[in-house]
Structure 1
Amino acid sequence: MKILFSFYPKRDQQTRLIENFPQAEFIFQKPLDEEALKTADILVTYGEDLHASHLEKADQLKWIMVASAGLEKMPLDEIAARNIILTNARGIHKIPMAESILAHILSIKKSLPLMAKNQRNGEWSPKLNPTELFGSTALILGTGAIGSEVGRILQAFGVHTIGCNRSGKMASSMDTIVSFGQLKEVLPDADIVISILPSTEETKHLLTYEHFQCMKPSAIFMNFGRGDVIKEEELLRALTEERIAYAVLDVFEKEPLHKEHPFWKMHNVIVSPHASSHSSQYVVRALEIFSENLTEWLNESNQLENIIDLKRGY
């Protein structure tokens, strides 16, 4: 059995895989080794280097493990047509992303951006107008592993959490839950709106300018899912008109964000370069999921973790 990686884990991680699975032949090669892919049984990738044309020659490929959560750049239709199993690393982002989201919220609530500006200007000004997180309401769009972890931490700070998902089905660490169709009903109650939604046909441009009109003028909007949940010109309009107080953006419709984009210089926007999930433990956790699944695979079990519904894309 041949397992092809299109990225390089650390040397000790490679060694551990080879020692734990002596029945497998591991190939670690970056960029994607197209020749090795032709005879590979399993591909482990970050999901951005595999194209439909590759699958035409990958006759032996049976399983693709994506060492990330996003799948929007994957040739899902072609993978489905070949009946190739697709899994991802869903769940490994929840700790670093929840910490990043909390850091940004507390930074704004405690006026740290203004404090930093005053320091650069050599200005001693205690008039910072900080607010408290305690007693506020957070609306969390996307109630999977990341959303639930964000909800858990916010609840510990005394925040009321409203979850929002496609079905309106209850999720952990949410005080209440609504469906996508009920968004406008709860937006006026939210002090913080956090999108952690993936990019799917159902979520693309889900949020509109009308949604921002429903929000409090003091609301903070945070996008840590995918940039196409809203058209950027509509968000830009809402920020320019101060329909909301702040936006914290880790993802964008087109990345990297163009250096001339207005977001860079707006006083009520924080630009994060799609870095909220970065962590020294990222690959460690991804390989833990892969190793557990590989054990199941070798035991001819179909109980793999994080199998993707190729029709839905998640």
Structure 2
Amino acid sequence: MVTIYFTFEPREDLKQPLLAEFPQADFLFDKKLDVEKLAQSEILVTYGEDLKEEHLQHADKLQWIFVASAGIEKMPAEAIAKRNILVSNVRGIHKKPMTESILAHILSLKRVLPFIYEQQQKKEWNKKARPTELNGSTALIIGPGAIGGEVGRILQAFDVHTIGCNRSGKEAPYMNETYKLDDLKEQLPKADIILSMLPSTKETKHMLTREHFELMKSSAIFMNFGRGDLVETDTLVGVLRDKLIEHAVLDVYEIEPLPADSPLWDLNNVTLSPHFSSHSSRYLERSLDIFKPSLKKWLNGERDLENKMNILRGY
């Protein structure tokens, strides 16, 4: 009997159907990683933040790690690769809630909702703000994968022209145009909205520099919903202080939680979201919808699982 170890405990309404569907498996559930339970397990289900290199020394039976998250940057990648442990994740699970979050921020800024809320608090009838329209604008999506493609699909419904930038330059879904990341600088001046969905890799770390922001329109909205190390924090603070762009919306940061003394808190042209744009009451339900078909394959001896990852590349 295969042993499957969850380092978190699903709700009962999700746990019981899982147990009923796989009576041939022995499930262990915990609220934090326990080395003794890990040592018994062939499969580990984790959010990806608790597994350390030293834990693997005790995990002789471990063959597959299912990460109930899209990011794996906190995992001991080299040690996992050396053991040839298969890793898969829930890539694509975030596309619905994150698309709603991203669109909410864009429409909020375009239709001046922060100003409206502020005037309501003051009990003032004030029409001095200048709403703008989303339709007819151009959005540049850096990393148009599952989430970026879903954002592109919805933006196109608002008559937004979408440009994608990816590693290959191959056509991406719901992008009117697609270019290589190498061509990013040529595309930046065209965009009213620049959205990054890039993962954290050696290639993407501090990839955006001040020069990139200098190429953007002064009216541009920059949004980072990928990973916080895309831009050095000091660079971003300088860009916003110098008002090189109109506004930034950040859901991710170099240091999380964002320190209380970060100068970002004091800027009036940035919206700070605490890395929860993907949160949803349906998050774990969707994770298990990916895990269960893969577990069926695994139990049948198949290893071509959904969202199988190259742990060293980070995606």
TM-score by length of 1: 0.99
- Give the corresponding residue for 1:34: 35
Partner SS state of residue 113, structure 1: helix
- Give the corresponding residue for 1:205: 206
Alpha-carbon distance in structure 2 between the residues aligned to 1:264 and 1:168? 36
CA deviations on 1:15-62 (whole Å, 9 max, x unpaired) are 111110001000001111211101101000000000000001100000
Partner SS state of residue 72, structure 1: coil
Q: Compute the displacement of 1:170 (Å).
A: 1.1
Specify the code of the residue in structure 2 equivalent to 1:206.
Answer: M
Q: Unpaired runs of 5+ in structure 1?
A: none
- Give the corresponding residue for 2:195: 194
Alpha-carbon distance in structure 2 between the residues aligned to 1:167 and 1:236? 31
- Give the corresponding residue for 1:267: 268
Partner SS state of residue 297, structure 2: helix
Specify the code of the residue in structure 2 equivalent to 1:12.
Answer: D
Specify the code of the residue in structure 2 equivalent to 1:214.
Answer: L
Partner SS state of residue 95, structure 1: helix
- Give the corresponding residue for 1:170: 171
- Give the corresponding residue for 2:232: 231
CA deviations on 1:232-265 (whole Å, 9 max, x unpaired) are 1111111111100000000000001111222222
In the TM superposition, 1:258-297 aligns within 5 A as 258-297=259-298
Specify the code of the residue in structure 2 equivalent to 1:127.
Answer: K
Partner SS state of residue 143, structure 1: coil
Q: Compute the displacement of 1:120 (Å).
A: 2.0
Partner SS state of residue 277, structure 2: coil
- Give the corresponding residue for 1:4: 5
Q: Compute the displacement of 1:310 (Å).
A: 2.2
- Give the corresponding residue for 1:138: 139
Alpha-carbon distance in structure 2 between the residues aligned to 1:72 and 1:311? 10
CA deviations on 1:68-119 (whole Å, 9 max, x unpaired) are 0000001111111101000001010000000000000000000111111222
- Give the corresponding residue for 2:64: 63
Alpha-carbon distance in structure 1 between the residues aligned to 2:303 and 2:7? 24
Residue 118 (1) aligns with residue 153 (2): no
- Give the corresponding residue for 1:251: 252
Q: Compute the displacement of 1:303 (Å).
A: 2.1
Specify the code of the residue in structure 2 equivalent to 1:234.
Answer: T
Residue 241 (1) aligns with residue 242 (2): yes
Q: Unpaired runs of 5+ in structure 2?
A: none
Paired residue total: 314
CA deviations on 1:197-226 (whole Å, 9 max, x unpaired) are 110111111100000000000000000000
Partner SS state of residue 81, structure 2: helix
Alpha-carbon distance in structure 2 between the residues aligned to 1:265 and 1:155? 34
- Give the corresponding residue for 2:148: 147
Alpha-carbon distance in structure 1 between the residues aligned to 2:110 and 2:26? 52
Alpha-carbon distance in structure 1 between the residues aligned to 2:135 and 2:129? 18
Identical-pair percentage: 58
- Give the corresponding residue for 1:156: 157
Q: Compute the displacement of 1:311 (Å).
A: 2.8
Specify the code of the residue in structure 2 equivalent to 1:143.
Answer: P
Alpha-carbon distance in structure 2 between the residues aligned to 1:158 and 1:122? 35
Partner SS state of residue 304, structure 2: coil
In the TM superposition, 1:7-18 aligns within 5 A as 7-18=8-19
Partner SS state of residue 304, structure 1: coil
Alpha-carbon distance in structure 2 between the residues aligned to 1:123 and 1:206? 43
Q: Compute the displacement of 1:66 (Å).
A: 0.2
- Give the corresponding residue for 2:47: 46
- Aligned-pair RMSD on alpha carbons? 0.8
- Give the corresponding residue for 1:108: 109
Specify the code of the residue in structure 1 equivalent to 2:198.
Answer: L
Partner SS state of residue 288, structure 2: helix
Specify the code of the residue in structure 2 equivalent to 1:238.
Answer: V
Alpha-carbon distance in structure 1 between the residues aligned to 2:72 and 2:278? 15
Alpha-carbon distance in structure 2 between the residues aligned to 1:67 and 1:122? 45
Specify the code of the residue in structure 2 equivalent to 1:192.
Answer: I
TM-score by length of 2: 0.98
Specify the code of the residue in structure 2 equivalent to 1:15.
Answer: Q
Partner SS state of residue 202, structure 1: coil
Partner SS state of residue 162, structure 2: strand
